[in-house]
Each structure stands twice: as structure tokens, then as C-alpha cells.
Amino acid sequence: MIARDVWTLSEAARLLAEPQHRLIYLCEKGVVVPDFAIAKGRGSSRRFSARNLLDFAVVLKLRKLTLPVDTVAAIIHVLRAFETKVADEIKGFDLIHSLRGKNAPDLRVIISDGRLLYFSLGVGAGDRKLFGGLDFHSLATRKIKPTTIRKEKIAANEFGKEVTRKPASPVSEFGGPEGSKHARIEISVTRIAKDLPLDG
């Protein structure tokens, strides 16, 4: 099978098993910005990349978890910035090809206590790095360019460095390594990428 490069709106809707109007809404809200063509009036059409289809799939998953559109838009924006940051360190890294491969790392989006955004990236449970700790409510109210994403402290570790976890009581381990105390939402971007039927 040959991998495709460009999808129309109707093709994207069919591939994602979603109505076209839902994808149009996400585009009009600026959650997903088409990489190839943005509709600019009657008769024009949107054209999407494989990366856009992954954005849609992640957005739709987060929306099913009842996250507001502005919050999801901020998460997608930071995910793009995160991809750029990792690509600076790992040559050739991009979410579509790197997450769909045979030995793909597991990338997860983690929302801690309904306000902090983390990414977890690793090959196995013992080889994971935790990135982020960004307050996505503030991100939802302003646009951030990939070059302006700043390093934040996570449990006394720098952004992008592996979080070292000492043995702790079950209470302090509640919620996971990012320290959530009340609620935690976690989705696997790798699983979503692998499930996208992009070939054919």
C-alpha cells in the first residue's frame, strides 16, 4: 500500500468516521488548521495532511472526554510545539511516522487535576520522560508559538528531563508521576496514530 499525502474534507470525514460538519467546526474554531488549503469562501475546499488527521483524531478523543474546545485547541497547539522540540533533539522525529513504526515510543497526553498538561514519552515504563507541567487554562487564552514554549519545573526537574521517582507511600503515588491528587486524564497519542487507517 502507498501512503497518501493529502486528504479532502470528505475523505478525512470518512477515514475518521465523523460527520463533515464536526470537522468544519473544529477548523473554524482554529483547533485544527489544514496544512495544505484553508477554505476561503464558497467553492473553496480544505485539504489535510496526515498530521492534520492525527490532530483531528486526538481532538475527537479529548472531546469525548468532555474537554472544552478552547482547552483542546491549546493542547493541540502545545502538542505541535512539543513535536518541534523533540525533533530538535531526535533527528527525523515526527508524530505520524515515528509513532506508527514497529518500535514506536509511547507518547501520552496527561491532564493532571484538570489544569496541568504533561506529555509522557518513552519506550517502556522504566524509560519514560515527563515533559510539561503547563497550565493549559492560561494557554487557552493566548496563542503560543513553538519557539516560545518555555521550560518549566516538574517535581524539581527541568522540562524535558526524566522525572526520578523515589519509592513512596501509596498515597503520594496516587494519580501518577506528575503528582495529580484529584483527577487524571491520560490518552495515548501513539495508539491513536497507529489506529489511523492512513494507507490505501
Higher-confidence residue of 62 and 91: namely: 62
Q: Which pairing describes strands 184-188 and 106-112: parallel, antiparallel, or unpaired?
A: antiparallel
> Would you identify the CATH topology of the domain 7-195?
Multidrug-efflux Transporter Regulator; Chain: A; Domain 2 (1.10.1660)
Question: All 3 cell numbers of residue 193?
Answer: 496514530
187 beta partners:
109
| pLDDT band per the 50, 70, 90 thresholds, residue 113 | confident
Angle at 114 between CA 112 and CA 120, to 5 degrees: 30
Q: Which of 39-43, 113-117, 124-128 has the lowest mean pLDDT?
A: 39-43
What is the model's pTM?
A: 0.78
Is residue 143 within 8 Å of residue 80, measured between CB atoms? no
| pLDDT band per the 50, 70, 90 thresholds, residue 39 | low
| pLDDT band per the 50, 70, 90 thresholds, residue 128 | confident
Q: Is 30 left (phi over 0), alpha (psi -120 to 50) or beta?
A: left
* Domain range summary for the chain, segments of one domain joined by +: 7-195
